């Protein structure tokens, strides 16, 4: 017959808590490594003709479906130089806080899509734990030509 002591219960509870902490720390480390790798790709990625063509196809499909805008892409707000504060608060100069390739997407819109009547916006699209999470980049268009 096994005896049970309070010491055993507390020891088991402490061991389980330590295991959970270690798992959480490993998950956090993995997430940080993935974010760092993604951030590096964001800074170095060059938009290709294929990327632009794919975006235009997506815009056409959204337009044909009756939508008024398309979220081209989303990314973690922590990649913005201000953590997404200017975007979240709709402050002037928000586009200057866009990192790497996301700034290039804005410049592509400004040069090629804006003259055709398209709009561009960025919005914080979620707030995990009450803090800005992901930022979405949106291309929009009017409902009609009127």
Question: What is the residue whose two structure tokens read 């040069």?
Answer: 111
**Dihedral angle sign, alpha carbons of residues 24, 25, 31, 35:** positive
Measured CA to CA, the distance from residue 16 to residue 2 in angstroms comes to 20
Inter-residue contact 101 to 125 (CB < 8 Å): no
Measured CA to CA, the distance from residue 69 to residue 71 in angstroms comes to 7
Provide the angle, in degrees to the nearest 10, between the axes of the packed helices 100-108 and 6-44.
40
Residue 37 has a pLDDT of 83
Q: Which residues pair with 71 in a beta bridge?
A: 138
Residue 54 has a pLDDT of 97
Domain ranges in the chain are 1-44, 48-140
Global pTM reads 0.79
Inter-residue contact 78 to 34 (CB < 8 Å): no
Confidence of residue 127 (pLDDT cuts 50, 70, 90): very high
The CB density around residue 107, as the number of other CB atoms within 10 Å, is: 13
pLDDT (tens digit per residue) in 8-45: 899 999 999 999 998 988 888 888 888 788 788 888 99
Measured CA to CA, the distance from residue 106 to residue 138 in angstroms comes to 10
Measured CA to CA, the distance from residue 87 to residue 137 in angstroms comes to 10
pLDDT (tens digit per residue) in 60-102: 999 999 999 999 999 999 999 899 999 999 999 999 999 999 9
Residue 126 has a pLDDT of 95
Measured CA to CA, the distance from residue 31 to residue 27 in angstroms comes to 6
């Amino acid at each position: 017959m096994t005896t049970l002591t309070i010491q055993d219960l507390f020891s088991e509870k402490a061991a389980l808590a330590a295991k959970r902490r270690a798992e959480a720390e490993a998950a956090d480390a993995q997430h940080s490594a993935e974010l760092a790798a993604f951030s590096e790709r964001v800074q170095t990625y060059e938009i290709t003709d294929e990327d632009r063509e794919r975006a235009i196809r997506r815009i056409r499909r959204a337009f044909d479906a009756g939508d008024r805008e398309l979220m081209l892409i989303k990314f973690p707000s922590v990649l913005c130089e201000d953590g997404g504060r200017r975007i979240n608060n709709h402050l002037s100069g928000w586009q200057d806080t866009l990192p790497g390739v996301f700034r290039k997407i804005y410049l592509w819109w400004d040069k090629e899509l804006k003259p055709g009547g398209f709009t561009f916006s960025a919005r914080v699209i979620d707030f995990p734990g009450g803090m800005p999470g992901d930022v979405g980049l949106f291309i929009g268009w009017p409902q009609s030509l009127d």
